[in-house]
A and B are shown apart, each in its own frame.
Chain A
């Protein structure tokens, strides 16, 4: 394992760890309110490790919904990760399958975006371990702390920190947008499609993120290939500039 790449990964993942802090803390607190013991709540963060799905499961548990339906809901909410790891696979350094199967566990919306937008060229395996480990650590540790202290951060700080993950997404997106019209189109189109799906309540959140992402990626690809430039040459050209 390359130690330098691992530390670089830990550093790149720090903004995720900060962003997970208020979210995991609140999860621990809500889990306690929903009647989960500290072991049960922590086990969910350790073994499932999926923010939105964990939050939803709490409200479903409180409502006394059939566990099988909770599992199915989890699947629907998390199916979008399939798209993300398929995309990430194109950028990762080759590695043994079981090694890739290990860091695959740590791929969330946040770790995916940090990994996929971070580096030019192939992403080293050690870097992926660094990013996913610090994010996972934060998620698990702050779930425990949230359950123990059973209280939120001061209101003003809680509110302010709830923006952290979105601010991180913006911080990742903007540098890639500069001088690259294709990236601007991809993000803008996906945002518009997601807003339409959200406000018309056409699909549930898990599906609508997946559909918006896929539709935008395909449409923009069609536009660019019609212009006689493949995605590949376009990205390469702009990376060289």
Chain B
């Protein structure tokens, strides 16, 4: 890779950092209208839904069952009251056993 790689990297770094930084630095201390702040408060839960589905189904290419099994295991452990770490490690364990034997 030549010098153009480093220019590209600089560009990538800037366009990634700016959207992360602007709201935290610019909206600082500003009171937003209640509707807007209500919508912003909803974002974390909506984004989780969008991040999980459909991507979780495709974690192993060409084998949707793998993702379905992982999602099922994760939801089950979480509903039974497991903490985030138990959900992560438990789901990995279930899928490791599955992929060892399948």
User: A residues engaging B (CB < 8 A)?
Assistant: 14-15, 18-19, 35-37, 40, 43-44, 47-50, 53, 57, 61, 67-68, 70-72, 74-75, 78-90, 92, 94, 97, 100-101, 103-105, 107, 109, 112-114, 116-117, 155-157, 159-164, 166-176, 182-183, 186-195, 198-199, 208-209, 212-214, 216-218, 220-221, 224-225, 230-232, 235
Question: How many angstroms between the C-alpha atoms of A211 and B65 in the bound complex?
Answer: 28
- From 19 to 63 in chain B, residues with beta carbon under 8 angstroms from any chain A beta carbon are 19-25, 27-29, 32, 34-35, 37-56, 59-60
Enumerate chain B residues within 8 angstroms of A190, measured Cβ to Cβ.
45-50
Enumerate chain A residues within 8 angstroms of B39, measured Cβ to Cβ.
214, 217-218, 221, 231
- What are 16 A-B contacts with C-beta separation under 8 Å? A48-B16, A49-B16, A67-B11, A82-B20, A89-B23, A90-B37, A156-B99, A161-B92, A162-B60, A167-B73, A167-B87, A173-B52, A198-B54, A212-B49, A231-B39, A232-B37
Are A167 and B70 interface neighbours, CB within 8 A?
Answer: yes
Are A231 and B41 interface neighbours, CB within 8 A?
Answer: yes
Residue ID in chain B nearest A199 by CB atoms: B54
Are A170 and B75 interface neighbours, CB within 8 A?
Answer: yes
Question: How many angstroms between the C-alpha atoms of A116 and B46 in the bound complex?
Answer: 12
B interface size (C-beta, 8 A): 76
What is the predominant secondary structure among interface residues of chain B facing chain A? helix
Question: How many angstroms between the C-alpha atoms of A175 and B43 in the bound complex?
Answer: 16
Instruction: State how many angstroms separate the Cβ of B94 from the closest Cβ of chain A.
Output: 8
Enumerate chain B residues within 8 angstroms of A224, measured Cβ to Cβ.
38
Enumerate chain A residues within 8 angstroms of B13, measured Cβ to Cβ.
47-48
